[in-house]
Structure 1
């Protein structure tokens, strides 16, 4: 089977009447429901598409950009710099913006602490490139070991000013991390995202057994003045072939 890439842009999922959000619904359930709705709408258009777009979002077209705050979380499982650059560039293009106010990287890997630090340095070098040209403002990492975070912080030219932890897997904020973030004016945030936002078995169930997820982005757009969530969606790059990278 020939390999081909598939880009998915869900559009503003808040406008999907079929996907009524429930307070108990986690990110994975929300994403799965959204993908099924969008793919169902695309079924009549053939299986060889390379780009799938959800409903076009027009809710913010008359809003001044300076009145918006865009937050993005990138889920990746590879430290490949080109893959991360592609994800970020796709986010800028899809969101029609030159700047993202807040970016968090969620890097999932079974590496040793030493290899993890090395991979995160590669990832962070990309983040620094975008910060230096004013494309990113606040930047940080999610679900990172305290010692690894401190080592990365000390190494980095542009310091992370956000760190996210999942209280579902870490019931208490590590005291060392709490102290370090306080001393260095770092935002310590909690989240409830599953360890794998789109598990491989779920991915294969939706896109077929040859599907492999390169990266996934969740974005949120708030109206600054009122703190209202106006738009929310997902961007994905999937490879479909018999050979996984």
Structure 2
């Protein structure tokens, strides 16, 4: 078994491949485009310099080779630390925010993917949180929103969507996972907790059984008309902030991840392909979690740092 952590770096300061069309991008497209761009940038940075007839390396003015597109070996642009393969390797010395921590509102959204083990969610939470804290060089997060698989708002109207939502997900698994998040809250590592896609009945059942109530409930109403009035009423009465979003619940399907890491035209060349089983890692690739983080500078009203980490396991067949 191989643990894999993928990262986008700060996509706010990323290159042109990360620039999106006007409007709010869906998170799955933003994630895959940003990962692919970061992989390509790392491969360019660590690519071998072609040698000319004089024996000297021929370089682009930015240090990248100009003759051909020689891909560096995988171990040149990735790194293995504590049995975890980082794709690409991360320069932790360049991490951190530009200003004092008090100037920022830092938000995390942690997606638990449907392909992952429910029993390992506490591990996923701790791993994702530590990566973001290390990347931003902070000791606590202002808001952490949990996104559970299999929950959405779907229907011809808000009333139907709210009714269908009540039957979605798994209450027991969500409450058990929430206990691990409550521990972070009690330790002071997270100031507020949030959830996503909880309709009226589901939210009521949830707050009846948890110790720390969610401060935020994010919902995506793209497939129905508006926020269900009963949900608005419940949230207001219990002091829960309702926010809308455009994120995709299954943000990183197995096929998408395998394409990102495979030997295709837009792949990173890490996984072995069918034609040659010796040209990369082999096994069943299981996406486990994705975390999206944003560092918002309050007094300037801008996002200084935004990015993603994703965790997966490669299990030998």
TM-score (norm 2): 0.69
What are the ranges of 5 or more consecutive residues in structure 2 without an aligned counterpart?
44-70, 80-84, 152-165, 263-270, 272-283
Instruction: Compute the displacement of 1:135 (Å).
Output: 0.8
Matched, 1:27 2:27: yes
Q: Secondary structure at the match of 1:155?
A: coil
Give the length in aligned residue pairs.
240
Q: Distance in 1 between matches of 2:301 and 2:214?
A: 24
Q: Structure 1 stretches of 5 or more lacking a match?
A: none
Q: Which moved more, 1:12-21 or 1:118-127?
A: 12-21
1:10 to 8, 11, 14: 8
SS state of the match for residue 84, structure 1?
helix
Name which structure has the greater RCO, CA cutoff 8 Å, separation 6+.
1
- Which residue in 2 is equivalent to 1:85? 126
Aligned residue in 2 for 1:184: 238
In 2: Cα distance, 1:215 partner to 1:203 partner: 12
Asked if structure 2 preserves the Cα contact closer than 8 Å seen for 1:141 and 1:160, the reply is yes
Match of 1:73 among 109, 124, 130: 109
Q: CA separation in 1, counterparts of 2:146 and 2:110?
A: 5
Displacement after TM superposition at 1:140 (Å): 0.8
- The reply on whether 1:122 has 2:158 as its aligned counterpart is no
Cα RMSD between the aligned structures?
2.5
Q: CA deviation at 1:98?
A: 1.1
1:212 aligned to 2:286? Answer: yes
Contact kept, 8 Å, 1:163 with 1:186, in 2: the verdict is yes
* Deviation of the 1:74 alpha carbon: 0.3
Distance in 2, matches of 1:222 and 1:57, equals 21
1:166 and 1:191 in contact (8 A); partners too: yes
- Match status 1:137 vs 2:173: no
Question: What is the deviation of 1:109?
Answer: 3.2
Q: Which has the larger radius of gyration?
A: 2
